[in-house]
Amino acid sequence: IELIEEGLVKIAFPKFDKVSSKSPVFYNPKMEFNRDISVLVLQVFQKHLNQESFNIADLFSGSGIRGIRYKKEINGAKDIFLNDINPLAIEWAKFNTLENNVDLEFSQKDANIFLRENRGLFDVIDIDPFGTPSFFLDSAAYAIKKNGILCVTATDTSALCGTYKEPSIRKYNALSYKSEYCHENGIRILAGFCALTLAKYKKYIEIKFSHSSEHYMRLYFLVKKASKATDDSLKKNIGHISHCPQCLYRVTSVGLTSPVEELCPICGEKMKMAGPLWIGKLGEREFIEDMISEIDNKSLNTEKQILKLLNISLDEVDAPTTFYDIHKISKNLKISAPKQDKVIEAIKDKGYISVGTHFNLLGIKTDIDINGLKEIVKNL
Ligand code: SAM
């Protein structure tokens, strides 16, 4: 037996050699950061909700650590439902619940069946599966309450980032491509797929916070309901991003129908295209600021790391889509790379937006075009 402490809880599960989907009961210590952020997001969500308490479905509960933490660490967390298809996981989740002196509900079903049977019960649905969440989004869209929040993890980053094309087409009905900003495109493909799936139920999304960290991507979005607003949201937020692998030019276009495959207007090379994907905001300034204020009220082991992420996220939340990698541009120009902060300042001096990004610590989000940026990089 393994015993661990995380946040305000103590959790036990059968010992295993290596974190894997084959472990008898799944637990990944590296996801403490993800769980800490989830606690913070849901606490801020509770403050924004016009109700005292809310219900949470921890759809893939594993050892129970997530749901038990939610109950212990979030004011207003009322009924928490732990669901997992693995009977051994539910046995240990029950044991851990007793050990932590909390009272939760249990279910041992396929996640889709559990959601279909419990429509309208949950203010929060946490989707933390192995690999892709795509199989579960339809049921989550059906089951989630109006003004509820969906928390979605994807660990199939190679599909979302375009290592191979086919998996992204199969799972997300979207084209992906590999580039220096493929993690951003990946999270946009995931968000676009969520928005299009929810739209079937006349529901639309407002992304409160999102991040790509280590081997996974995580999205937190509010779900609202109204057919006209859903149409408007899709019209504004779904589009495509095209990229020239030769000169690094890229362009974002709005609309569900893909633009005709174009040649790069700068160098004439054939462009690559990703989409349909979410071209809207990946977070909300006020929500992130509230997360930063709330962090002092929580006792989170990964606080420093979270603050670093939240501060970069604040910088980039209103910046344009995609980012440039200074090393990639320097290689393209066959020169050695200048320092990132110098480039950021030089772009700002010319009157453009210029900020860093959590997707890549050498990345810059800016509205200057690629030729203007290359000039700056050359002259530094
Ligand atoms: N949320 C957990 C945490 O933070 O530690 C980890 C969850 S783990 C990544 C995925 C879990 O989903 C496993 O415990 C597995 O047994 C369960 N699972 C896999 N397929 C499922 C399905 N179709 N329905 C419900 N649970 C499923």
Whether residue 298 is found in the same domain as residue 329: no
Question: Taking 80 as the threshold, does the pLDDT of residue 261 lie above it?
Answer: no
Mean of pLDDT over the chain: 96
Whether residue 359 is found in the same domain as residue 291: no
The average pLDDT across 5-13 equals 96
Contact 187, 282 (CB under 8 A): yes
Ligand 1 proximal residues by C-beta, below 6 Å: 26-27, 31, 35, 60-63, 65-66, 84-86, 89, 110-111, 128-130
The CA 26 to ligand 1 mean position distance, Å, reads: 7
CA 87 to chain centroid, in Å, comes to 29
Q: Whose CA is nearest to atom 1 of ligand 1?
A: 61
Whether residue 306 is found in the same domain as residue 335: no
The CA 308 to ligand 1 mean position distance, Å, reads: 29
Question: Taking 80 as the threshold, does the pLDDT of residue 172 lie above it?
Answer: yes
The DSSP-derived string for 22-73 is: TSSS---GGGHHHHHHHHHHHHHHHHHSSSS-EEEEESS-TTSHHHHHHHHH
Residue 264's CATH number: 3.40.50.150
Residue 348's alpha-carbon distances to 314, 328, 354, in angstroms, are 17, 20, 6
Q: Which residue has the tokens 């993800």?
A: 34
**How many domains is the chain built from?**
2
Whether residue 239 is found in the same domain as residue 372: no
The CA 180 to ligand 1 mean position distance, Å, reads: 31
Question: Taking 90 as the threshold, does the pLDDT of residue 46 lie above it?
Answer: yes
Question: Taking 80 as the threshold, does the pLDDT of residue 233 lie above it?
Answer: yes
> Using CA atoms, how far apart are residues 263 and 267, in angstroms rounded to an integer?
8
Contact 13, 2 (CB under 8 A): yes
Whether residue 262 is found in the same domain as residue 369: no
Question: Strand pairing partners for 83?
Answer: 107
Whether residue 361 is found in the same domain as residue 310: no
> Using CA atoms, how far apart are residues 180 and 89, in angstroms rounded to an integer?
39
Contact 213, 360 (CB under 8 A): no
Whether residue 103 is found in the same domain as residue 245: yes
> Using CA atoms, how far apart are residues 319 and 225, in angstroms rounded to an integer?
27
**Hey, which bits of 200-340 come out as E strands?**
203-213, 216-225, 238-243, 250-254, 272-278, 324-325
Range of the domain at 352: 324-379
Q: Label residue 224 exposed, middle or buried (CB < 10 Å: 0-12, 13-18, 19+).
A: middle
Whether residue 304 is found in the same domain as residue 330: no
Question: Taking 80 as the threshold, does the pLDDT of residue 274 lie above it?
Answer: yes
**32, 84, 216: residue to mutate for ligand 1 pocket, most atoms within 8 A of CB:** 84
Q: How confident is the model at residue 259 (pLDDT cuts 50, 70, 90)?
A: confident
The CA 170 to ligand 1 mean position distance, Å, reads: 21
**22, 58, 60: residue to mutate for ligand 1 pocket, most atoms within 8 A of CB:** 60
Q: Please report the atom of ligand 1 found closest to the CA of residue 31.
A: 4
Whether residue 310 is found in the same domain as residue 334: no
Whether residue 248 is found in the same domain as residue 360: no
The DSSP-derived string for 276-305 is: EEE-S-SS-HHHHHHHHHHGGGS--TTHHH
Contact 213, 219 (CB under 8 A): no
Whether residue 261 is found in the same domain as residue 367: no
Q: How confident is the model at residue 20 (pLDDT cuts 50, 70, 90)?
A: confident
Q: Please report the atom of ligand 1 found closest to the CA of residue 34.
A: 4
Q: Please report the atom of ligand 1 found closest to the CA of residue 153.
A: 9
Rounded to 5, what percent of the chain is helix, strand, coil? 40, 25, 35
Residue 333's CATH number: 3.30.56.70
Q: Give the pair of three-digit tokens for residue 152.
A: 């979605």
Whether residue 288 is found in the same domain as residue 354: no
DSSP tally for the chain: helices H, then strands E:
14, 15
- CA neighbor of 150 nearest in space, from 58, 213, 62: 58
Q: Phi/psi class of residue 200: alpha, beta or left (left: φ > 0; alpha: ψ in -120 to 50)?
A: alpha
Residue finishing a domain among 316, 338, 369 = 316
The average pLDDT across 231-247 equals 97
Q: Please report the atom of ligand 1 found closest to the CA of residue 84.
A: 26
The CA 114 to ligand 1 mean position distance, Å, reads: 13
The pLDDT of residue 235: 97
